[in-house]
Amino acid sequence: QARDPSDSQQPNRWHLFCPERLLDQLCRWFCPLRVLVWTAPLLFFFGVLGVIFNFHFVDQDFTQAITTFGVIGRLVFAAFSVNLISQMLRGLVARYYGLQGPSFGFVLIFGLVPRFSVQVIPTRNMTRAARLWLAATSTLGRMVLFGLSILLWLSTRASGSFLSIVGVELAFISLVGLLFVSNPLWRGDGYNFISIWFGIPNLRERSNDSFRALLVRRPKAVRRHARHSFWFGLYGLLSMLFLVFFIGFITIGIATRLEQQYQGAGVALFLFLAVYVLWNHRRQKRARERAKPLVSATTEAVRTSDKPGNTRTAIQLPRTHERLRADVSDAKPVRWRKRILQVVVILAVVGIGMLPYRYDAGGEATILPISKREINAETEGLVEEVYFDGGESLKKGTIVAKLADHRQRKDVSATEAAISAKREEAQVLRTTPSVDALKLAEEQLATARLQLKYSADEAQRMQQLYTKSTVSLKVYEDAKEAMDIDRQTVAEREASLASLKSQVNPSQIEAIESEIVGLNDELVFYKEQLRRTELRMPIDGRITTLNLGNLRNNYLDEGDLFAEVEDATRVRVEISVPEAEIHHVAVGAPVHLKVQAYADRVFVGRVTEIGLVAAEASYGQVVTVASVIDNSDAYLTSGMTGFAKVEGSSMPVFVAFTQALSRFLRIELWSWIP
C-alpha cells in the first residue's frame, strides 16, 4: 500500500501507520450494523429532549466537568473520543466504497491543536452516494455520540459516578463538533455535502466570485449567463462574515484569558501565538502550492489505473466492496469458520450475560471517629502544666494538663480546718459534764436520800418515844432537826445533779452539726473546683490536637477548648448511596472500603444503620449508610475520603449492567410521556 504522495508535503501532518487492514476487518464485522445509521436523527432528537428536560442538572454537571478536565484535559479527551471515533467511521465508509486510506496519523489544527486524521484518496469513478456518505459520516457520527452521551449521563447521574461527568463532557464536545462540522458556512463536511448534493464542486470559489461581482459591475454578456449570482454572492458574504466572527471570537477569548491569568506575559504569549499561526498558515499554503503538480500526476495515475487493461503501478487501489464480497463468497470455508466463530461469540456473550452476579451499591465514603470528645476548661485559669504534646493514645482519666490551682487549694484547706474546729466544739459539748462528775453527783444524791431515810425513821421513832414520855423533848427535836438537815441535803444534791445535766444543750449540738453539714458541702464544691483544674482524658483514645505544649501559660476561660480526643480503635464510615440503589442495601451487609490514601488496601466492615432521610448531593439525592470498621492498626484517620461498596443481592450479569438503562426507561422516559 502506497502513501499519498502529497502526504510528505504537509508540514503539520504525521503518519503513524496504514489502517487499511484494520478498517477492512472492522468493515466485515460491523457492516451488517450499517442500517443503524438511520437512528442517528432519532438519537440526536432524544439527546436534545434529555437536555431540555434536565437543563439545570446539565448546567451543574457541565460546570463540574470544566473543573475536572481543564483546558488541556479537554483537548486530549476530545482527540481520543469524538475525533478518533469520527475519523475511524470516515475510514470505514471509505473502505466500504473501495477508497484508499493509506495513512492514519494526526494533524495540528492551526499548527497547535493535535487531531487524529485518516487520509482518504478519492478515485475518478467514485459514485455520488459514496461522496455524500463520506461527507455526512462525521455529522452522523457526532449526532449518534451526542445522543448516546446524553443517555449515558442520564443513566449514571443518579449513581454519582465519574461516568456522568464523562457523559456530559462527551455530549458537549460532540455538540460543538457537530455545529462546526455540519455548518455549511465553514469549509467542512457540511460544506462538502451541500457542494456534492447540488453538484457544485467549487461552491466557495463561485460564491466569492459572485460576492465580488456584486460589488463591481460586470458586462451584460457576463451577467446574462451568470445563474443564481445573487444567492451565490449572499452565501459568500455569510461565509466571510462567519469566518471573521469566528476568528474574532477565538482571538478575543484567548487574548482576554491570557491577559487575565498572566498579565503582560500573557499579552506577549498571545502575540507570539498569533505570529506563529499566521506563519504556519502561510507555510501550509506554500506546501499545498508545491504539491499541486504531484497531486495532479497522482490523480492522473489513479484515473489511468481505473481504465481496463491498465496495470496499477503508481498506486495500488484496494478492492471495491463488490469485489470484496465476491472474494468472500468464493472462500466458503473461511466464511463458515467466521460464521461459527460469530455464533460462538454470541453464545458466549449470552451465557456470560446469564451468569449470576452480585450487584454492589456504593458511593462516596467519609471516615469519622466512632467516638469524639473535646477536652474543655471546666474552670478559668492559667495553663500551668502540659504533660503530653498531642497524638498520644491514652486511657480514660489520664491527666493531660493542669491549670493553676492555688485559690482552689486554699479554699479546700480553709474549709477542712473549719470543719475540724466545729467537730471539736461539738465533741466538747457532747462530753460536758464528764461522766465521772455525773456519777459522783448521782452517788451523793443516793447517799443523801439514804441518810434522809434513816433520819426520817429516827425522827418518827423519837416522836413515838416522846409521846410515851420515854425521851425528852430535846432529844425529839434533835432527831427532827437531823431529818430536816438530811432533807435539805437531798434537795441540794438533786439541784446539783440537775445543774450538771443542764450544762449540755441539744440545740447547740444540732446547730453545730448543721454547720458541719454546710461546711462539708462547701468542701465537696471546692474539691470539685480543684479537680476541674486537671484536664483529663474523657475516653480511651488518641489526642488529635498537636503541639499542646504551646498552650502552656495560656489563660483559658471556662468552656474554652484545650484539645480534641478521638477513639481511633474503630471508625465510622458514612457512605452516600444514591437513592436509586438504596434498595440493594440491608443492615448487616458486608462493606468494602477503599480510601484515597491506601488505594491498594480494602477495609471490611458491615452496615450498622441506614439513614431515614435522603439528602441532596451535587448529582442527586443520596441516603447515608453507616458502617463500623476496625481500625486497631490506625491506618484510617478522621476526615479521609474514598469509595465504599455494599454487597447486594445476586442477579444475572445482563440485569446488573442494564439497571441504569432500565431505570432510565421506566422513570425518566416515562416522565416525558404526556
**Separation CA 485–CA 265 (nearest Å):** 134
Look at residue 605 in the predicted model and tell me its pLDDT: 92
DSSP character at residue 581: G
List of residues 6+ apart from 451 with CB closer than 8 A: 486, 489, 490
**Residue 7 reports pLDDT greater than 60:** no
Predicted confidence at residue 628, as pLDDT, reads: 92
Q: What's the whole-number mean pLDDT along residues 431-442? A: 71
Q: Is the pLDDT of residue 634 over 60?
A: yes
If you average pLDDT over residues 160-164, what whole number do you get?
A: 76
Residues 6 or more apart whose CB falls under 8 angstroms from that of 621 comprise: 578, 579, 614, 615
pLDDT of residue 217: 58
> What is residue 312's predicted lDDT score, i.e. its pLDDT?
40
CA-to-CA separations, 403 to 383, 392, 408, 543, in angstroms, rounded: 4, 20, 11, 18
Question: Is 604 exposed, middle or buried (CB count within 10 Å of its CB: 0-12, 13-18, 19+)?
Answer: exposed
Average pLDDT over residues 569-590: 89
Which pLDDT score, from 0 to 100, does residue 646 have? 92
Structure confidence at residue 252 (pLDDT)? 81
Over residues 180-205, the mean pLDDT reads 81
Q: What are phi and psi of 543, to 5 degrees?
A: -75, 115
How confident is residue 457, by pLDDT bands cut at 50, 70 and 90?
Answer: confident
Res. 615: pLDDT tops 70 = yes
Q: Is the predicted pLDDT of residue 327 greater than 70, yes or no?
A: no
pLDDT of residue 591: 93
> Which residues make Cβ contacts (< 8 Å) with residue 387, sequence separation at least 6?
399, 400, 401, 402
Distance CA 160, CA 582 (A): 13
**What pLDDT is stored for residue 545 in this prediction?**
87
Q: Which parts of 515-588 are beta strand (E)?
A: 534-536, 541-543, 555-556, 561-566, 570-578
Helical spans, DSSP H, in 473-568: 473-502, 506-532
pLDDT computed for residue 76 by the predictor: 85
How far is 147 from 154, CA to CA, in rounded Å?
11
Q: Within 10 A of 493 (CB to CB), how many other CB atoms are there?
A: 21
Average pLDDT over residues 638-661: 84
Provide the pLDDT for residue 313.
Answer: 38
Where is 14: in which H helix or E strand? strand 13-17
Contacts of 11 (CB under 8 A, 6+ apart): 280, 283, 284, 287
468-486 residue pLDDT tens: 777 777 877 888 888 888 8
pLDDT for the residue numbered 215: 65
Is the pLDDT score of 44 beyond 50? yes
pLDDT > 50? residue 222: no
Q: How confident is the model at residue 592 (pLDDT cuts 50, 70, 90)?
A: very high
* pLDDT of the residue at 59: 83
What pLDDT shows up at residue 326? Answer: 41
Rounded to an integer, what distance in angstroms lies between the CA atom of residue 164 and that of residue 157?
A: 5
Q: Is the pLDDT of residue 41 over 70?
A: yes
- What is the pLDDT, as a whole number, of residue 216? 60
Q: Which H or E run contains 401?
A: strand 399-403
Q: Determine contact, residues 441/497, Cβ cutoff 8 Å.
A: yes
User: In sequence order, which residues have a C-beta less than 8 Å from that of residue 419 and are 6 or more positions away?
Assistant: 516, 519, 520, 523
Residue 222 makes CB contacts below 8 A (sequence gap 6+) with none
Q: Are 620 and 158 in contact (CB under 8 A)?
A: yes
Rounded Cα–Cα distance for residues 84 and 118 (Å) = 9
Strand partners, 646: 361, 591
Among the residue ranges 67-71, 331-335, 357-361, 366-370, the one predicted with the least confidence is 331-335
Helix 40-53 × helix 128-156 angle, to 10°? 30
State how far the Cα of 329 lies from the Cα of 23, in Å rounded to an integer: 19
- Distance (Å, rounded) from C-alpha 211 to C-alpha 235? 8
**Per-residue pLDDT at 181 exceeds 90:** no
Indicate whether 111 pLDDT > 90. Answer: no
The yes-or-no verdict on residue 607 having pLDDT over 90 is yes
User: Which pTM does this prediction carry?
Assistant: 0.58
Percentage helix, strand, coil for the chain under 3-state DSSP, each rounded to 5? 60, 20, 20
Q: What is the pLDDT of residue 674?
A: 66
Pairing of strands 393-394, 534-536: unpaired
- Average of pLDDT values for 400-414? 89
Higher pLDDT, 191 or 585: 585
573, β-bridge pairs: 367, 627
pLDDT on residue 338? 62
Amino acid at 68: T
Average pLDDT over residues 58-86: 83
Q: What is the DSSP letter of 109?
A: E
Mean pLDDT, the chain, integer: 79
Choose from 92-96, 110-114, 266-270 the range with maximum mean pLDDT.
Answer: 92-96
Percent of the chain whose pLDDT exceeds 90:
7
Q: Which residue has the higher pLDDT, 33 or 520?
A: 520
* pLDDT value for 3: 38
pLDDT at 314 over 50: no
pLDDT at position 597 over 70:
yes
Q: What is the mean pLDDT of residues 260-278?
A: 71
What is residue 648's predicted lDDT score, i.e. its pLDDT? 86
Q: Which three cell numbers stand for residue 423?
A: 467537730
C-alpha–C-alpha distance, residues 530 and 416, integer Å: 14
Distance, CA of 674 to CA of 670 (rounded, Å): 9
Q: Are 79 and 69 in contact (CB under 8 A)?
A: no
CA–CA gap between residue 497 and residue 443 (Å, rounded): 10
What is the grid cell recorded at 607?
452496615
Provide the pLDDT for residue 319: 41
pLDDT value for 221:
43
**pLDDT digits over 136-149, tens only?**
888 888 999 998 99
* pLDDT value at residue 229: 66
- 225 falls in which pLDDT band (50, 70, 90)? very low
Please state, for a pLDDT cut of 70, what percent of the chain lies above it: 82
DSSP 82: I
Q: Which residue has the higher pLDDT, 33 or 118?
A: 118
Candidates 229, 517, 562; CA nearest to 380 is 562
Q: Which amino acid is at 146?
A: F
Contact (Cβ atoms closer than 8 angstroms) between residue 520 and residue 412: no
Taking a C-beta distance cutoff of 8 angstroms, is the pair 2, 315 a contact? Answer: yes
Is the pLDDT reported for residue 316 higher than 70? no
Q: What is the pLDDT of residue 608?
A: 92
Which contiguous run of DSSP H or E holds residue 641?
A: strand 641-652
- Minimum mean pLDDT range among 104-108, 248-252, 254-258: 254-258
